[in-house]
Chain A
Amino acid sequence: MTETEPVKKSKEYKNKVVQTCLLAGTILIENGSELNRVSDTIKRIAKNADLNDLNAYVTITGIMISANDEAGAQIKEIEKRTFNLRRIAAVNRLSRDYAQGKISIGRFYNLLNKINRFGLYYPYWMMMLSAALISGCISVVFNNDIHDFFITCLVGMLGWVIFSVISTRVQASFISEFMAAASIGAMAIFAVHIGLGQSTDNIIIGSVMPLVPGVQITNSFRDLISGNLISGPARGIEALICACALGFGVAFSLIWLG
Chain B
Amino acid sequence: MVHLLIIIAGVYVATLGFAVLINVSPKYLNDGGIVGVAGYLVYLAYYTYIGGYVGGNVLGAFTLGIFGMIAARIKKAPVIIFNIPALVPLVPGGQAYQVMKNIAMNKPRVAFGFLMQVLMIAGSLAMGFLLAELVIQLFNYSMRSMKRRRKTA
Contact = CB atoms under 8 A, between A and B. Distances in A.
Contacts of A120: 23
A89 to B, nearest CB: 5
Given A83-B22, A127-B21, A131-B21, A251 B14 contact: no
Interface string B100-130: 1101110000000000000000100110011
Interface stretch (B47-55, B90-98, B138-146): B90-98
Contacts of B103: 251
B133 to A, nearest CB: 6
B16 interface: yes
Contacts, number: 154
B97 A126 contact: no
B23 A122 contact: yes
Interface of A: 32-34, 37, 83-86, 88-89, 92-93, 96, 120-122, 126-127, 130-131, 133-134, 137-138, 140-144, 146, 160, 201, 204-205, 208-210, 212, 214-215, 217-219, 221-222, 224-225, 243, 247-248, 250-252, 254-255, 258
Interface of B: 3, 6-7, 9-11, 13-14, 16-18, 20-26, 28, 40, 76-78, 80-81, 83-85, 87-89, 91, 93-94, 96-101, 103-105, 122, 125-126, 129-130, 133
Contact of A212 (B28, B93, B130): B93
A67 B139 CA distance: 33
B94 A205 contact: yes
B17 to A, nearest CB: 4
B16 to A, nearest CB: 7
A141 B80 contact: no
Contacts of A204: 97
Nearest to B29: A121
